[in-house]
């Protein structure tokens, strides 16, 4: 029996229900049982079926025969001097994935990974130098939050929780793992469990145009676009997916994104690379390019990694660039670099997992 157990983390309510019905543990109309289990799992964060105390002891024993609540193993925890924490998580199959917690005065953000490595190789990104090992499953994505909450003692999921926001800005291109990321967001935003509104969840993408539109229709979280360049020539070089989905198509997808039509802002991320994309002409081109889109521009100081080919723009230049964009009417906060001493800042994540099989390393490219 033991080897037939399913890990319940990452299953939808319907999937949980099917397992219970198949095992003859509930009847078709017993939705409240699923609701109870869900609440213990995602509101209280229990790690043991015995702790689901509102469920009868007999049923708890039966549940143990079909489900486990096992989290992946925590391999390493690193704490930055600025309060940022990076967890290296060892998945069941041995692959390693990174998750970062960034505390701020008004919120706490968890930066989750959607893939091990990435198939895209943006020139300034450390993750891009790691071959993709695999897409993460819903269980592996949701488990990142479960582990983070366990470590931070952040259960139950009430008003004062430390993790108030989630960003898909860790390792990987989330829109190349569409279904698992979508299911994870459904679990994160379920109002009887983790209860994070989609307004507090940000999907960051390098610009996979067809999936941006699909995502907007089906899920509609906050959207962040890793823009970084305002002309195709430069963007082809530093964000090579641009060759497949050039700027014109990308900007059109942003205009058509449902949130943007409802005047909610899209975030454009712009990494500041010295002498590459940081002149005031670039700033002007940026303003022209996104004209009419409700937007905020996040300027990200480039975070170096061993042998990285760029330098970060000077503070002075970042300020000038930001002021220019501000004067044009856009909010342009400079993203504070967090956790750089533990290589946890944007674009610095890279686990030691290596490509195992060639056949799965080219997913969706
Ligand atoms: N793959 C997705 C999400 C992960 S990357 C994407 O590209 O959007 C999260 C953000 O960090 C992206 O905007 C990415 O372009 C940026 N980034 C990558 N490497 C960086 C680096 N070395 N310094 C600063 N930002 C970087
Ligand atoms: Fe992949 Fe994003 Fe890094 Fe580009 S910036 S290589 S899409 S993780």
pLDDT for position 365:
33
pLDDT in tens, the chain (365 residues): 445 789 999 999 999 999 999 999 988 888 899 999 999 999 999 999 999 999 999 999 999 999 999 999 999 999 999 999 999 999 999 999 999 999 999 999 999 999 999 999 999 998 888 876 799 999 999 999 999 999 999 999 787 899 999 999 999 999 999 999 999 999 999 999 999 999 999 999 999 999 999 999 999 899 999 999 999 999 999 999 999 999 999 999 999 997 776 678 999 999 999 999 999 999 999 999 999 999 999 999 998 888 889 999 999 999 999 999 999 999 888 888 788 788 877 767 777 665 444 333 334 33
44 vs 301: CA distance, rounded Å: 38
pLDDT for position 234:
98
* Tokens of residue 233, six digits: 């020539």
Helix residue ranges per DSSP H, the chain? 13-22, 31-39, 57-66, 138-152, 178-188, 209-218, 232-238, 247-256, 258-261, 280-289, 315-327
Question: 106 C-alpha to center of ligand 2: Å?
Answer: 28
Question: 60 C-alpha to center of ligand 2: Å?
Answer: 43
User: What own/partner pairs with CB < 8 Å and gap ≥ 24 does 314-323 have?
Assistant: 314/274, 317/272, 317/274, 317/278, 318/272, 318/278, 320/280, 321/272, 321/278, 321/280, 321/282, 321/283
* Residue 128 belongs to a domain: yes
Question: 123 C-alpha to center of ligand 1: Å?
Answer: 10
Q: Is 173 in the pocket of ligand 2 (CB under 6 A)?
A: yes
Q: Is 119 in the pocket of ligand 2 (CB under 6 A)?
A: no
Q: Is 169 in the pocket of ligand 1 (CB under 6 A)?
A: yes
Q: Are residues 129 and 60 in the same domain?
A: no
Three-class secondary structure of residue 39 per DSSP: helix
Please give the span between the terminal C-alpha atoms of the chain, in angstroms, as a whole number: 40
178 vs 22: CA distance, rounded Å: 28
* Residue 195 belongs to a domain: yes
User: Which ligand sits closest to the CA of 300?
Assistant: 1
Q: Are residues 49 and 101 in the same domain?
A: no
* Residue 26 belongs to a domain: yes
150 vs 160: CA distance, rounded Å: 15
pLDDT for position 87:
96
Q: For residue 36, what are the domain limits?
A: 6-68
* Residue 183 belongs to a domain: yes
* Residue 190 belongs to a domain: yes
* Residue 352 belongs to a domain: no
Three-class secondary structure of residue 298 per DSSP: strand
122 vs 240: CA distance, rounded Å: 6
User: Which ligand sits closest to the CA of 226?
Assistant: 1
Ligand 2 atom with minimal separation from the 126 CA? 3
- Name residue, tokens 């190349």: 176
* Tokens of residue 317, six digits: 């230049």
Three-class secondary structure of residue 179 per DSSP: helix
- Taking CA atoms, 351 is separated from 37, 125, 167, 170, 306, in Å, by 34, 13, 19, 11, 14
CATH number of residue 50's parent domain: 1.10.150.530
18 vs 24: CA distance, rounded Å: 10
pLDDT for position 1:
43
Question: 97 C-alpha to center of ligand 2: Å?
Answer: 15
Q: Report the residue among 124, 130, 310, 347 best suited for mutation to probe ligand 2: largest number of ligand atoms under 8 A from its CB.
A: 347
pTM of the model: 0.94
Q: In the structure, how many helices (H) and strands (E) does the chain have?
A: 11, 13
- Name residue, tokens 């925890």: 77
Q: Are residues 205 and 327 in the same domain?
A: yes
User: Which ligand sits closest to the CA of 112?
Assistant: 1
CATH number of residue 207's parent domain: 3.20.20.70
Q: Is 52 in the pocket of ligand 1 (CB under 6 A)?
A: no
Nearest CA owner, ligand 1 atom 7: 206
Q: Is 154 in the pocket of ligand 2 (CB under 6 A)?
A: no
* Residue 365 belongs to a domain: no
Largest Cα–Cα separation, the chain: 70
Q: Are residues 242 and 168 in the same domain?
A: yes
pLDDT for position 247:
98
Q: Are residues 127 and 230 in the same domain?
A: yes
The pLDDT tens digits for 132-179 are 679 999 999 999 999 999 999 999 978 789 999 999 999 999 999 999
Nearest CA owner, ligand 2 atom 8: 172
Q: Is 298 in the pocket of ligand 1 (CB under 6 A)?
A: no
Instruction: Write out the catalytic residue numbers.
Output: 98, 346
- If one counts the domains in the chain, the total is 2
Question: 117 C-alpha to center of ligand 2: Å?
Answer: 9
Question: 128 C-alpha to center of ligand 1: Å?
Answer: 9
* Tokens of residue 164, six digits: 């108030």
Ligand 1 atom with minimal separation from the 305 CA? 22
Question: 307 C-alpha to center of ligand 2: Å?
Answer: 17
State the sign of the Cα–Cα–Cα–Cα dihedral 241, 247, 248, 249. positive
Q: Are residues 79 and 33 in the same domain?
A: no
Q: Is 346 in the pocket of ligand 1 (CB under 6 A)?
A: yes
227 vs 268: CA distance, rounded Å: 6
Last residue of a domain, one of 50, 68, 86: 68
pLDDT for position 295:
95
DSSP assignment, residue 267?
E
* Residue 86 belongs to a domain: yes
266 vs 207: CA distance, rounded Å: 13
**Are the C-beta atoms of 83 and 103 separated by less than 8 Å?**
yes
Phi, psi of 281 (to 5 degrees): -65, -40
Q: Is 125 in the pocket of ligand 1 (CB under 6 A)?
A: yes
- Name residue, tokens 């291109």: 173
192 vs 162: CA distance, rounded Å: 18
Q: Is 127 in the pocket of ligand 2 (CB under 6 A)?
A: yes
DSSP assignment, residue 312?
B
């Amino acid at each position: 029996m033991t080897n037939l157990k399913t890990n319940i983390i990452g299953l939808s309510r319907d999937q949980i229900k099917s397992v219970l019905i198949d095992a003859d543990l509930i009847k078709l109309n017993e939705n409240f049982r699923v609701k109870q289990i869900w609440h213990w799992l995602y509101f209280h964060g229990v790690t043991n079926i015995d702790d689901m105390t509102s469920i009868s002891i007999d049923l708890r024993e039966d549940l143990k025969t079909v489900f486990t609540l096992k989290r992946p193993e925590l391999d390493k925890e690193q704490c930055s001097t600025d309060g940022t924490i990076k967890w290296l998580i060892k998945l069941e199959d041995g692959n390693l994935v990174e998750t970062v917690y960034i505390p701020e005065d008004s919120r706490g953000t968890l930066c989750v990974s959607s893939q091990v490595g990435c198939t895209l190789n943006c020139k300034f990104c450390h993750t891009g130098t790691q071959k993709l090992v695999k897409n993460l499953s819903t269980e592996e994505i949701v488990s990142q939050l479960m582990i983070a909450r366990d470590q931070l003692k952040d259960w139950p999921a009430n008003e004062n929780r430390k993790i108030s926001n989630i960003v898909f800005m860790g390792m990987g291109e989330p829109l190349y793992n569409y279904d698992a990321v979508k299911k994870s967001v459904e679990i994160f935003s379920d109002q009887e469990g983790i209860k994070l509104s989609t307004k507090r969840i940000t999907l960051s993408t390098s610009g996979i145009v067809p999936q941006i539109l699909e995502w907007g229709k089906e899920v509609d979280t906050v959207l962040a676009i890793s823009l970084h360049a305002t002309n195709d020539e430069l963007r082809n070089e530093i964000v090579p997916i641009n060759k497949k989905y050039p700027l014109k198509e990308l900007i059109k997808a942003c205009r058509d994104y449902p949130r943007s039509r409802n005047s909610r802002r899209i975030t454009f991320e712009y990494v500041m690379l010295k002498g590459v994309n940081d002149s005031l002409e670039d700033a002007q081109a940026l303003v022209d390019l996104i004209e009419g889109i409700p937007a905020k521009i996040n300027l990200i100081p480039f975070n170096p990694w061993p042998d990285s080919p760029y330098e970060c723009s000077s503070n002075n230049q970042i300020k000038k660039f930001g002021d220019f964009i501000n004067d044009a009417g856009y909010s342009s906060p400079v993203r504070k670099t967090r956790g750089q001493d533990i290589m946890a800042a944007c674009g610095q994540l890279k686990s030691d997992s290596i490509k195992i099989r060639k056949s799965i390393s080219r997913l969706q490219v």
